[in-house]
Structure 1
């Protein structure tokens, strides 16, 4: 049996980017994140961003929740034909968005508009007046919601911001819920059913309180958290023989474009966890990279029922490099 101690957390979400000189300032200057680590490799560089707080600033990057990993493949910034898939087009849909919760959503939206940030949906658009969707330089959607932390009129403070969740579309919610709960140890935090539009949202994350009852978290509590995954189920896909599934963000089959990369689970002993999964599930799991077998050591990648990748790593990965960069 896999054992889930209180070290388990959802560490990061990875998105590919075209030009770090554009994307990094967007997230640091406009969204208030901090670039906490940069890891260069031969063909690509990883940029780790986070809402750094007094509570997490002493932790290694991989021991934190709410990290955004931007992956830059060297040279694509000079390729006029290089394009990324934001996951929301008619073709190759899958990944939907990342979500940032803020203290005062109206003030934050107004601030972004003054900085010429483009929006897919403003607060005043459509029926839902309490959410907005900004667009990053690569066309990825960023949902905005309000957590109300220390909310002040006509003010917004980046110290209250959270990288709240990552949304992916799933074909069969039963299979996906079983995977995220039984294999990865997530808890179902809440469910939101939208009968008129015929879709259901499932929010999952780690909760290590033994008294926590699944599917009971209020919106107010949920909006104050980080490290949540939102599974969107459009009704009927699970029984539609014509439905071909969602794009996982990584495949290039049939001319598909890449974009979204993966989410990531971190814990203190990932080698033990991976072995426990092998012992429990055998060949029933879809490993794209088994533990410690890739060019980058001490990581693994597993795929969920829809083919989305989840990285598994430890709290100490690249800690020496991180400390050097952070001057710790």
Structure 2
């Protein structure tokens, strides 16, 4: 079996790392399986792409499509044109896509138009919010996928409601968590740890990148000022996304607690998460990692495609206003950590299950 694995953005790199390890393990056992790794170039900043390949021991991509940035349509179109040529030059039996970025949808469409089977890892997750570009990517990808690998029973149920045959849906667990378990002993403090006098549980991690939170400069500044005031004596480490940094531009913000740092590599970022007091984010994936690490997480969105992080884990939805965040954060300070657990099959073996299943197809 020849598999082409597609990666395009930071979350993709974290998800493909254990899948590649699972394939390599099967190769040592004599299985007839090989892979070709294609990096679309959707994230091209070194701290958002190259660093993850190095830290997670992901092999150098066989091909980098180098599509870079652009509008949703421009980027998707560029990926499709480049990936079509890639598949024509390097035929395969299966294209494996992960997550919900533009690369995921674009490469799935190209593969199916060339009559190549598609496997979607992290299939079936839904926020119910079609204003999110990722939600459109999920729906389109799942409408043409052949093999669906899900992180939860909820995601599997979403697919069956969508009309997908149960026999094609495989609840395998969470490959993001595979990567976390495989690297938890390797995480390391960033260079600024001593400079900022950070100690375990004496700081908060902040990440923001979604349009609803960062696209309008005035509301972003208001949000940052509110978080700065709300966190009292706790430092707030903010690895600022290049897009968010560009929106702030030359704004001369005076903040007491928020410290701006560059985007972090995986090992440094997981160290920061593991040792934090709490996390404030608008990311979906981070709420999965905080659930495993037992760190309180406040998600600045009105919905989530990962309800298990709310029902079982440490995640709390707080909407997009500073007032709602302040209310929920104050409740947390008064009540303390909520009792949380770990979702089913988030045991570090999802990737092995995926490859076992594919070898039987």
Q: Which has the greater radius of gyration? A: 2
TM-score by length of 1: 0.27
Structure of greater relative contact order (alpha carbons < 8 Å, 6+ residues apart): 1
In proportion to residue count, which structure has more strand? 1
TM-score by length of 2: 0.26
